[in-house]
Structure 1
């Protein structure tokens, strides 16, 4: 560089001469001869003149055509100046001198603890001949670096990377910079440390950690090396990673899990009957369905990693095998699954254990102080509620009562639906009411004095019917066949089923109100909301509301307790959104069921469309994301905004929330905040993500308002 830019040796001459000259010493002799032959003047012996030449060369290089092109490409000013930093170095005895690098934070814990290496007898410019020595081999070096790095972190407000030299056992810093792509735990710990020390505001500390980073910290990840054997890639339905033996049935999953074996449940699709096996598995893999399918929703609620819609997956139960295209895996073979990317690998891979640093809890508490939007949980059991409350949920935004009818209670709901004898049906209803009372009592006790929204039965009818050939007798098989539907998701479900089986909702409501009265006797008073699902007609809501009021009156007459509750509806159909004003005359709250609302607005089947149609649409650029993962602001979102406006025009104080899976997506949360909804509700393990996303949305809105005010002030001043 000095020869070309300060002594005018042509660059082409330098390139040709140095191309075949190995080693720095040989190159010195070649350069000196080239300067003598082609240079504008000889190379000086005086060190001060050499330094002046080096400075002149750097300045000339900054103004070279290549440098000017680089500035234009980066949109930097053409006249941008350059600063030269001159650093004096000296070389000490090899045994007591050397070069090293260090970073300020432990990558595993995020704590302030210098990590790095020291190369004894090596200059900075020389390639290290070995792996180096740990910093604790330097007498007092680790403590000195910790003090220096702490000071630099406060100055740069970022995890720090430094180069240093040791000369006669004395450490000198050569260069320091903000660490490029610092470990996530280090960023979290530093943000909290800086805010506690006053070097950073709490709001800025919250802003530094994204919702996606919160999710990454909460779930285990596969440790990939690049040599993994990929079996298939599906849709990333539930984050996290797990390894386990392949099982092909819920029963087998329960059997092996009881013996302590980690299993991965692989199925063409899952149904409510598979829930016990799913909960016993380490992960779930399905060949069909999308990120709003049954498998995805259950897995997210349970905090299990899941991959859905794995194209080419074929399960052969008779042979005990799974086919992934041309590959065959047998039941019992190990696989590893990444629910964040949708990748499934053969064999057992290493998994990093999830464990966020305590500083994340601190940042989330600060986020709670910033956000306006409430965050609740979709939870069906007391255990799920307890998990969610520990993660910061403010209550239950959706309790799906149909999940209480699974397992050993499935025969009871089948008798209600299929019994030919009214007495047998009533007997089954009494048994169901008693069983639901137990579940509601545990749920309400876990919720405490917080809000809890209980949705009455909403599952499609086919989920409770016996499979063909599995009925108790020919008569029951005939009645079940008569109830099977071509499109059960749009058939006899929700309020429609309740209006045809008129004792169903009253039985559920009486169980709920009796449980509330029993829990209230212990001093706990949950803020109860009762939700009617799949309403499209105001008359449907009015009729169902009468059932609920009748149940409340019956419980009051029997127990002497008048249960305080709000009655509302789930907005799941476009017609319900359009008639929100009329529905608000009967409802004290709305909860937008955005999974079904998206399905019905687009005319998409959420269980079938993602694997082929949505993937194609995203490749073509028609969609930037699946509308089942991210709320569509122009279509579905427009219906939500319209419904909110019309409902508030009739009932200004109506409570509005979202309980679909969009309630855990950061961009969807920002939309809900902008529309002015009161809360979002999501699966338990997405609650921290939603808390951070709601805080980021509030800070974004605040910045927008501040900018508008400054713009107005500037306009007034002119």
Structure 2
């Protein structure tokens, strides 16, 4: 479709190029091919004439360089000598006559042939071939050339523009874009212009076309158009690839509900990174930010706050209403109050499975670990990185998705609820086989997990209940030097646990909840030095209990066998809490009691007998028999290899993949991620941290052995995973392959796990 000029009756053409796939480096559009005698026709309005002149200069100079062989520097010098494109045309034609292979063609067919030759020469140049290699595209990628007529009329009666089928903020179908009057003089899209609402002739046709394109192509459509007295012409169509997560989910749901696709297709279209984008705050960057340091992206989301260097300071400043970022060399369980008070966490050491990372993900806080460029001076109250010295109280911004730390406040975009995401996740729930639970230690965490769609609690770490004000309780149990004081401490412990568990069970409701009995290394509960002990007897005990390798020392079931009243006190508190919520609220959670760090089957047998005895004692006192299941964590290679013997006593097994990975590799998690992981990745010894993504050849091989052995003894035994890998999409797909029954992850990652579990099924279906 086209038009002729008012007085000379000539036809102008546009020559454009396209490749079969998206490619950077396509030749530019050649506009106004066919100008008679290389001059703009007379009688055109001034503005239209200026548009055509600018377009013609670009077309003619491109043909001169790539088809006629005129040196590029000579052409460029014309632009320096003449500001007005109209003044460059005659010198360019003279230059072609003097140095070109042939004179510049003056007829339509000659210009069209020369233009096509120029575009192919540009596409086949060594520079263009290198560009395709960089994009991992075939060097011989074919090129198609398209010929269009150019609409030439009064400047305000013709124009060009673009339109996108969706509002990119809301994600809803709402065509938007811009247009400009005059001739489209370049293939580059002009994003600014008049709004579509003022388009001559209205937007009804565009709206209908975009709706039809979405239906047929299944994507957000982007079209280029031209308009004139004879109507609107589409001159370009492509998928708009820079869609937001909100737009992608809205489109997927719309197409499925209209019957154009189906629910499974909608679930396939949404990837885990879309879920993270919709659930966590994101920074709105302008490019003017000052980057302080980059570390490991340990927990997603973004936050702005004042630097605090201690847990105590975090609590104090946060209580005054200030947002704070806890900056530390590393964190420990004792820092939990400060972490809970902070908007984000930044540590110098540690990796994705460090204490800071695990706790931050559990609480839904953004965190960056392993920012080794930082230097913290608590005495001076400063944080230093290169030339930047920031005193405590300075404002910084962290992006837990990229690991970037910025000086000053960056604008934060808070996520809004997405009904489309909820729909996609519910469709995914109908597809997935794996159950999805959450790791939660408090009623608040459990409530968040349930809101995010968790089907229960796969791990409650009871050691987190003994920090802060509760720390003296567990210390008295461990450091007690006579039976009477230990018994009193155990009674207080049971009462405290009853309150903690009651809050948790109320939040869980009638769902399953797995309570892991105490499993922290003993040194986390002891004074750091004998000098910090309460008395001389306690100081001697602290010195006596010192361990060279506490992570592999007296912890878990080993500590319970040395302090035989410890687990009974915990279990008694748990059973009493269950009776409370059952009798007072009519809630009956499915209790699962998990014994940690078992590597000898007889360890588990002793704990089974102990818990049954406690249950009988509680029943004789209350008249209520609490129903519960007993299981153990598989977190040592020996436990995996002896899973058939463990299954004789266990009603469920849960893989603790954090420790299982450490012990399988012989890695110290924090040390490896801090000191050698980068080198191993650089040398290709590892492709990803095994603490972030489950190791298939090693750790998962042990898990396969354990699964086969356990089910050979007890086919219906419940098998799950409760390490941090439970929220990683790649690891979840591996859990599907292993035939596990559920995964458990931090509350904030439950939606990601739900979608990833659905993908684990869909990705195995024939395409």
TM-score clears 0.5: yes
Given the alignment, which residue of 611, 615, 627 partners 2:690?
Answer: 627
Q: Determine if the alignment matches structure 1 residue 546 to structure 2 residue 609.
A: yes
- Maintained 8 Å contact 2:364/2:748: yes
Return the match for 1:11 from 61, 68, 85: 68
Query: Cα distance 1:115–1:66, how it changes in 2: closer, same or farther (>3 A)?
Result: closer
Report deviation, 1:54: 6.0
Q: Does 1:179 align with 2:240?
A: yes
Deviation at 1:684, TM superposition (A): 0.6
Alignment partner for residue 762 of structure 2, among 686, 689, 699?
699
Q: Give the SS at the match of 2:541.
A: helix
Offset, 1:101: 2.2
Find out whether 1:688 has 2:745 as its counterpart: no
Q: 1:251 to 1:31 in 2, by over 3 A?
A: closer
Question: Structure 1 residues 65 and 606, CA, compared in 2 at 3 Å: closer, same or farther?
Answer: closer
Higher mean C-alpha deviation, range 212-221 or range 620-629 = 212-221
Choose 22-31 or 597-606, whichever is displaced more.
22-31
> Structure 1: how far apart are the matches of 2:63 and 2:310?
77
Distance 1:227 1:512, change over 3 A: same
Distance 1:330 1:59, change over 3 A: closer
Aligned to 1:135: 196
2:287 and 2:96 mapped to 1: Cα distance? Answer: 48
Are 1:244 and 2:301 matched, yes or no? no
Distance 1:371 1:317 in 2: 49
Moved more, 118-127 or 523-532: 118-127
Q: 2:221 aligns with which of 160, 164, 183?
A: 160
- 2:515 is aligned to 454
Aligned pair partner of 2:566 in 498, 504, 509: 504
Segment drifting more, 445-454 vs 571-580: 445-454
Structure 1 pair 324–519 and aligned structure 2 pair: CA distance change class (3 A): same
Q: Is 1:672 matched up with 2:672?
A: no
Q: Say if 2:93 and 2:103, in contact at 8 Å, map to a contact too.
A: no
Structure 2 distance, partners of 1:79, 1:187, is 30
Correspondence 1:477 to 2:534:
no
Shift of 1:329: 1.8
1:99/1:124 contact within 8 Å kept? no
User: Which among 377, 380, 394 is matched to residue 438 of structure 2?
Assistant: 377
**How far is the alpha carbon of 1:107 from its aligned partner?**
2.1
Report the counterpart of residue 276 of structure 1 in structure 2: 337
Preserved CA contact (<8 Å) 2:348 2:374: yes
Conservation of the 8 A alpha-carbon contact between 2:435 and 2:742 = yes
Q: Deviations over 1:126-159 (max 9, x none)?
A: 9899942333343674555333322222222111
> What do the CA deviations read for 1:202-234 (whole angstroms, capped 9, x no partner)?
212211221122222221222233333222222
Separation in 2 of the partners of 1:509 and 1:76?
Answer: 65
Residue from 203, 211, 217 that aligns with 2:278: 217
Contact 2:66/2:121, CA 8 A, preserved across alignment: no
TM-score w.r.t. the length of structure 2 is 0.84
Q: CA separation in 1, counterparts of 2:186 and 2:706?
A: 67
Using a 3 Å threshold, how does the CA distance of structure 1 residues 9 and 530 change in structure 2: closer, same or farther?
closer
User: Are residue 436 (structure 1) and residue 497 (structure 2) matched?
Assistant: yes
Find out whether 1:516 has 2:578 as its counterpart.
yes
Residues 141 and 357 of structure 1, relative CA distance in 2, 3 Å threshold: farther
| Structure 1 residue 10 displacement after superposition | 6.1
User: Greater CA deviation, 517-526 or 88-97?
Assistant: 88-97
Indicate how the Cα distance of structure 1 residues 538 and 10 shifts in structure 2: closer, same or farther if over 3 A, else same. closer
Residues 110 and 357, structure 1, Cα contact 8 Å, conserved in 2: no
CA RMSD of aligned residues (A): 3.1
Alpha-carbon distance in 2 for matches of 1:17, 1:250: 68
Q: Does the alignment pair 1:316 with 2:377?
A: yes
8 Å Cα contact 1:141-1:171 kept in structure 2? no
> Does the C-alpha gap of structure 1 residues 500 and 325 become closer, same or farther in structure 2, counting only changes over 3 Å?
farther
C-alpha distance 170-256 of structure 1, shift in aligned 2 (>3 A): farther
Find 1:594's aligned residue among 657, 661, 672.
657
The residue number in structure 2 matching 1:107 is 168
Residue 648 of structure 1: how far off its partner (Å): 0.8
Give the whole-Å Cα distance in 2 for the aligned partners of 1:182 and 1:571. 42
Cα contact 2:521–2:551 (8 A) shared by 1:
yes
165 and 445 in structure 1: CA distance in 2 versus 1, 3 angstrom threshold: same
Instruction: State how far apart, in whole Å, the 1-side matches of 2:492 and 2:111 are.
Output: 91
Trace 1:114-129 onto structure 2 (pairs within 5 A).
Answer: 114-121=175-182, 123-125=184-186
Instruction: Provide closer, same or farther for how the CA distance between residues 7 and 19 of structure 1 changes in structure 2, counting only shifts above 3 A.
Output: closer
- What is residue 459 of structure 2 aligned with on the other side? 398
Q: Deviations over 1:146-183 (max 9, x none)?
A: 33322222222111222223435954433222113333
Partner of 2:49: none
Shift of 1:698: 0.6
CA displacement at 1:629 relative to structure 2:
0.5
Cα distance in 2, alignment partners of residues 433 and 220 from structure 1: 39
Per-residue deviation, 1:423: 1.6
Q: String of CA shifts for 1:251-304, please: whole Å, max 9, x gaps.
A: 111111111100001112212121111011000111222211111111000000
Alignment of 1:203-352 (within 5 A): 203-325=264-386, 327-352=388-413
Specify whether residues 162 and 126 from structure 1 end up closer, same or farther in structure 2 by C-alpha distance, changes over 3 A only: closer
- Residues in 1 aligned to 2:763 and 2:661: alpha-carbon distance in whole angstroms: 26
1:612 aligns with 2:675: yes
TM-score, normalising length: structure 1:
0.90
Distance 1:551 1:169, change over 3 A: farther
Over 3 Å counting, the alpha-carbon distance change for 1:322 and 1:6 in structure 2 is closer
> Bigger CA drift: 315-324 or 129-138?
129-138
Contact 1:68 1:78 in 2 (8 A): no
- Tell me if the contact between 1:273 and 1:406 (Cα under 8 Å) persists in the aligned partners: yes
- For the residue of structure 1 that corresponds to 2:458, the secondary structure is strand
SS in 1 for 2:460: strand
- Give yes or no for contact 1:7–1:39 (8 Å, CA) kept in 2: no
Q: Is this contact kept in 1: 2:152–2:183, CA < 8 A?
A: no
> Which of 665-674 and 16-25 deviates more?
16-25
Q: Compare 694-703 and 100-109 and name the one that shifted more.
A: 100-109
| Total equivalences in the alignment | 698
Write the distance in 1 (CA, Å) between the matches of 2:300 and 2:141.
49
Give the equivalent residue in structure 1 for 2:554. Answer: 492
Secondary structure of 2:406's match?
strand
Residue 410 of structure 1: aligned partner: 471
Name the CA distance, whole Å, in 2 between partners of 1:65 and 1:222: 40
User: Are the counterparts in 2 of residues 119 and 128 from structure 1 also a CA contact under 8 Å?
Assistant: no
CA–CA separation in structure 2 for the residues paired with 1:425 and 1:79: 78
Q: Which moved more, 1:123-132 or 1:427-436?
A: 123-132
Q: Relative to structure 2, which stretch is displaced further, 527-536 or 109-118?
A: 109-118
Does the Cα contact within 8 Å between 1:195 and 1:202 map onto a contact in 2? yes
1:55 and 1:84 in contact (8 A); partners too:
no
Greater shift in the superposed pair: 351-360 or 416-425: 351-360
Residue 121 of structure 1, CA deviation: 4.3
Partner in structure 2 of residue 711 of structure 1:
none
CA distance in 1, matches of 2:62, 2:371: 60
Please say if residues 657 and 723 of structure 2, whose CA atoms lie closer than 8 Å, have aligned partners that are also in contact. yes
Q: Is the 8 A contact 1:32 1:43 kept in 2?
A: no
Contact 2:324–2:343 (8 Å) recurs in 1: yes
Deviation at 1:319? 2.0
**C-alpha distance in structure 2 between counterparts of 1:306 and 1:79, whole Å:** 44
Distance 1:275 1:75 in 2: 50
- TM-fit CA distance, 1:433: 0.8
**Pair 1:416–1:201, CA change in 2 (3 A):** same
Shift of 1:106: 2.0
**CA distance 1:675–1:13, shift in 2 (3 Å):** same
CA contact (8 A) 1:4 1:11 kept: no
